[in-house]
Amino acid sequence: MAKKFLSGNEAFAEGVRLARAQVISAYPITPQTIVVERLADMVEDGSLDAQFVHVESEHSALSCAMGASSVGARTFTATSSQGLLYMAECLYYAAGGRFPIVMMNANRSTALPWNIYGDQRDSISQLDSGWIQAYAGDAQEALDLALMSYYIAEKKQVSTPFMANLDGFILTHTYEVVDIPDQEQADAFLPPFQTDNKMSLEQPRNLGFTAGPDYNIQFNYKEHKGLLAARDAILEAEERFAQIIGRRYSGLLEQYKTEDAEYILITLGSIAGLAREVVDTLRSKDIRVGIIRLRYLRPFPEAELKEALQGVKALAVLEKDISFGKEGTVYTNVTASLFQAGIRVPSANYIGGLGGRNISEQEITQIFTDLANGGQGLHFIGIAPEEEQEEVHAK
Amino acid sequence: MIEILWHGRGGQGAFTAARILGTAYVNQGNNAFALAFPSFGPERRGAPIRAFTKLSSSPIGDRSEIKKADYSVFLDETLLTPASLEELKEGGKLIVNTKKHLEDSQVICVDGDAIAQEILQLPITNTIMLGALAAVCEHIDLSAIEQAIRESMPLRLQEKNIAAVREAFRSGTACRKEGTK
């Protein structure tokens, strides 16, 4: 194991190298990030034996990855923001074709207004596309996710593409210390990719198929079951990872001081780090608060949330996205799960960090204060009361 | 937590210095954590940029930009304004690449350009200012900076940069002692 000072992009690239990806396709123009540049360096210097394919768009990048996956190659691509939206058509294709492609997405805002800073609107808009969606909290987790993602996606009963999300800039461009496993450890963890779902002269089969109304739903049902099967595969991969590489992760969500917490903030991505510091400060004043960091949005951690939220007085969801005309999509998913679990507690939704806006310690502290004072409903962090007031007058 | 703010212009290598400092710090021990990042967004040669290094003995959760720094380093003195002092924590220091001698106990002056011209034969002062920082900041060893330069820079640049860092360290130490008289 080697200790290095790396950015999230570089850490993820190290993970892809250790996973021995065989085909990498990428469109290397903004909003692409340097994860693919680092991989190109590795192919060039011989430390990664892969074919690097430059394509002319993100749509082609994922199409190329599908083509490579359909002959049984372990494939990787990466994108961000508008690039992810441009490949949207292919996201559904890859998931429906059950190709276990791994993609790193640098979470960045979507236009208009044009903005290349971080938020999570890009990936969250694609929750229905049939991909596993994970969100890293730091660069170490990014590297480890790169390795684990292949194990999870390639499990036969899963056979589902995997989108690993890193907060744009805040994770992708920030350097921190990372432990890089040895290649021997990585090989012991991750077996070579083997699949029956490929073009083969010995066992010809139909790929990229048509399915009419009479049995179309059977395919969609199987796709749904495949994504649900990722839940057990994630737990299995993490146990195996802990045994072989020595770092342990906590499944679909991570809890921090939730056990006796009266007020819980649910969030995702790197902002959880600052939220943990706020929890420590409030706990030192005997205020019982906790954090849940959602590590996966698909499959969604319904059972885990139900268990973690027993006995809570009120909760808030802090997220960097908005489904215009409704609320934050993570909040919709959380509250639907609570309703189904029979948990009825006051809740609030905080939209923050859009277009890279900073979320401060004070703003997170305020969420807990609001919760303790019975606060509910939808709030936009950074919209001043007078701005809200103007809208009322406009009506 | 020790927070270091870097001021430079696009192309002067402020972010590289921020990153080498982080590398040096985490190499000093097992309970050493660091974050290094540039001001995010589009980059343009010659335009003012900032970079950030945070050093701590525990994991760092706050990834936002530094508002108040322990050390604020200026690779380019034209970026220095009276407001620069407001970016310092109490007891914080400005470390400035300048030929001038600024009479202020909070300011450490190092003629980085002269060292760069003499040793590197290039007007690049980012690693030089790391040497000046090591002279003032007790949490970072000169030897760790040298090791980080060996890890981070191409072989042909290493020895010259290390020589320049040592010279800046001497110069920064002299300026600090003068300031405490």
What's the pLDDT tens digit per position in A238-282?
999 999 999 999 999 999 999 999 999 999 999 999 999 999 999
pLDDT of residue B30: 81
Q: Look at residue B181 and tell me whether its pLDDT is greater than 50.
A: no
CA atoms within 13 A on the CB side of B83: 3
Q: Chain B residues within 8 A (CB-CB) of chain A?
A: 19, 22-23, 26-27, 32-38, 40-42, 59-65
- What does the mean pLDDT of chain B come to? 93
Look at residue B91 in the predicted model and tell me its pLDDT.
Answer: 94
Give DSSP secondary structure letters for A297-350: EES--HHHHHHHTTT-SEEEEEES---TTS--HHHHHHHHHHHHHT----EEEE
Q: Which residues in chain A touch residue B32, judged by CB atoms under 8 angstroms apart?
A: 177
The CB density around residue A180, as the number of other CB atoms within 10 Å, is 20
Hey, where are the domains in chain B?
Answer: 2-180
CB contact under 8 A, A273 and B62: yes
List all residues 6 or more positions away from B124 whose beta carbon is below 8 Å from its beta carbon.
B12, B13, B116
- Supply the CATH number for residue A384's domain: 3.40.50.920
Higher pLDDT, B103 or A215: A215
What tokens does A375 get?
């606060």
Beta bridge partners of residue A377, listed in sequence order? A348
- A236 and A342 in a single domain? The answer is no
Domain residues for the domain of A182 are 2-245
Is residue A209 pLDDT above 90, yes or no?
no
Query: Smallest Cβ distance to A177: which of B33, B38, B62?
Result: B33
Residue A343 and residue A317 share a domain: yes
**Cβ-defined contact of A5 to B38 (cutoff 8 Å):** no
| A274/B41 Cβ within 8 A | no
Overall domain count for chain A: 2
State the architecture of B2-180 in CATH terms. Answer: 3-Layer(aba) Sandwich (3.40)
Co-location of A223 and A274 in the same domain: no
Distance from CA of B102 to the nearest CA of A (A): 33
Residues A203 and A300 grouped into a single domain: no
Domain boundary at A192, A211, A245, which?
A245
CA A386 to chain CA mean position, Å: 35
Residues A150 and A273 in one domain: no
Residue A237 sits in the same domain as residue A324 = no
Domain of residue A204, CATH code: 3.40.50.970
Listed residues A213, A245, A277: the one ending a domain: A245
- For chain A, give the mean pLDDT: 96
Q: Is the dihedral of CA A283, A287, A288, A291 positive or negative?
A: negative
C-beta atoms of B42 and A175 within 8 A: no
Among A189, A217, A245, the domain boundary falls at A245
Using a CB-CB cut-off of 8 Å, the residues of chain A touching B149 are: none
Q: Give yes or no: residues A266 and A360 share one domain.
A: yes
Q: Are residues A276 and A219 in the same domain?
A: no
| Phi and psi angles of residue B146, each rounded to the nearest 5 degrees, phi first | -60, -45
Q: What is the pLDDT of residues B29-88, one digit of tens each?
A: 888 999 999 998 777 899 999 999 999 999 999 999 999 999 999 999 999 998 999 999
User: For residue B79, what are its two tokens?
Assistant: 């970026």
In B, minimum Cα distance to A138 occurs at B61
Query: Is there a contact between A176 and B33 if contact means CB atoms under 8 Å apart?
Result: yes
